[in-house]
Amino acid sequence: MKKNISSICVMFGLVIMMGCTTLQKDTMTKDYICLQATAPIKIDGKLDEVAWQQASVIDNFYPYSPKDAKDLSETKARIAWDKNYLYVAIECDDDDIWSYSDRHDDDLWRGDVAEFFVKPNTSMPAYCEFVIAPSGALYDARYPSRGAGGYYRFKDWSSKAKVATTINGTDDDWKDTDTGYVVEMAIPFSAFSDIAKQPVAGDTWTFGVFRYDYTKSYEDTLLMMSIPESQKSGYHYYEGYTPLIFQDK
């Protein structure tokens, strides 16, 4: 299913650490209240736990490229937490699923991916990137800053995140019509221990959810983001990330 949205002015730029400017400022992204899970979440790509039913849904996405795209692939994201993990679930409508690779830390964004960027400490320039292909392959990196060297320098970092995906269709068969894929991920808070303390209720981090959608249905690859704009640095524009507020049960 495609989702029609009103015209949004966002200038095209390379997503990997390159510049991007906008001509018009949209409304600011409101805070996301991240609820604490009251029962275990099994990472199996099914999203059948109570925590996912209770979590707020992020379903308002904006075009990054092409800048004038109006027909966006529907995307729904949810986030939860407990004392050990930050949980992320992303449902991606996709009629032509294609994983570029099934290898860890490969250039997964050369094919369909869902991406989660998180900045645990707003007083430091460090932030983290998680890229998940429909195949279940994960690219994860922690950057000390945007200018420190980029993904090839820092991709050897391992978050030890647990990832599972489910595919409704077939991976890498353009001749059929797929429905979409689901990403489920648990990131241990220990992955952030050198840049942020263990979160407690009331703490605020910031984040963004993004997609690459390669499909036979579009003339151009569709890039989408959960933030209204990116003034520079593409998906790495953490100044525009959404506040994530941890809330206990």
Question: In 81-177, which ranges are continuous DSSP H helix?
Answer: 151-154
Overall number of domains in the chain: 1
Instruction: Count Cβ neighbours within 10 Å for each residue of 158-172 and write b for 16 or more, e otherwise.
Output: ebebbbbbbbebebe
231, pLDDT greater than 80 = no
pLDDT at 16: 39
H-helix or E-strand spanning residue 124:
none
Question: For the residues 105-114, what does the mean pLDDT come to?
Answer: 97
26, pLDDT greater than 50 = no
CA distance 83 to 152: 31
Q: What angle do CA 183, 195, 137 make, to 5 degrees?
A: 25
Domain range for residue 236?
Answer: 2-247
Q: How far is CA 118 from CA 125, 145, 232, in A?
A: 11, 13, 17
Under the banding of pLDDT at 50, 70 and 90, the label for residue 214 is very high
* C-beta of residue 4 within 8 angstroms of C-beta of residue 71: yes
* C-beta of residue 208 within 8 angstroms of C-beta of residue 240: yes
Q: What is the 3-state secondary structure (H, E, C) of 64-81?
A: EECCCCCEEECEEEEEEE
Question: For the residues 16-44, what does the mean pLDDT come to?
Answer: 66
pLDDT at 99: 98
Under the banding of pLDDT at 50, 70 and 90, the label for residue 130 is very high
17, pLDDT greater than 60 = no
Question: For the residues 56-81, what does the mean pLDDT come to?
Answer: 95
Entry pTM: 0.88
Average pLDDT for the chain: 88
Neighbours of 64 (CB within 10 A): 26
Share of the chain above pLDDT 70, in %: 88
Which of 2-11, 29-38, 75-84, 129-138 shows the lowest per-residue confidence on average (mean pLDDT)?
2-11
4, pLDDT greater than 80 = no
Q: Are strands 32-36 and 75-81 parallel, antiparallel or unpaired?
A: parallel
Share of the chain above pLDDT 90, in %: 78
Q: Amino acid identity of 82? A: D
* C-beta of residue 27 within 8 angstroms of C-beta of residue 53: no
Kindly report the CATH number assigned to the domain that includes residue 129.
Answer: 2.60.40.1190
pLDDT at 29: 56
Q: pLDDT by residue (tens digit) across 153-211?
A: 998 999 999 999 999 999 999 999 999 999 999 999 999 999 999 999 999 999 999 99
Q: Which residue has the tokens 């963004």?
A: 208
84, pLDDT greater than 60 = yes
Question: For the residues 88-97, what does the mean pLDDT come to?
Answer: 98
Instruction: Count Cβ neighbours within 10 Å for each residue of 114-149 and write b for 16 or more, e otherwise.
Output: bbbbbbbeeeeebbbbbbbbbbbbbbbbbbeebeee
Q: Which residue has the tokens 């890229």?
A: 131
Dihedral over alpha carbons 19, 25, 29, 30 (to 10 degrees): 150
Beta bridge partners of 205: 244
78, pLDDT greater than 80 = yes
pLDDT at 10: 30
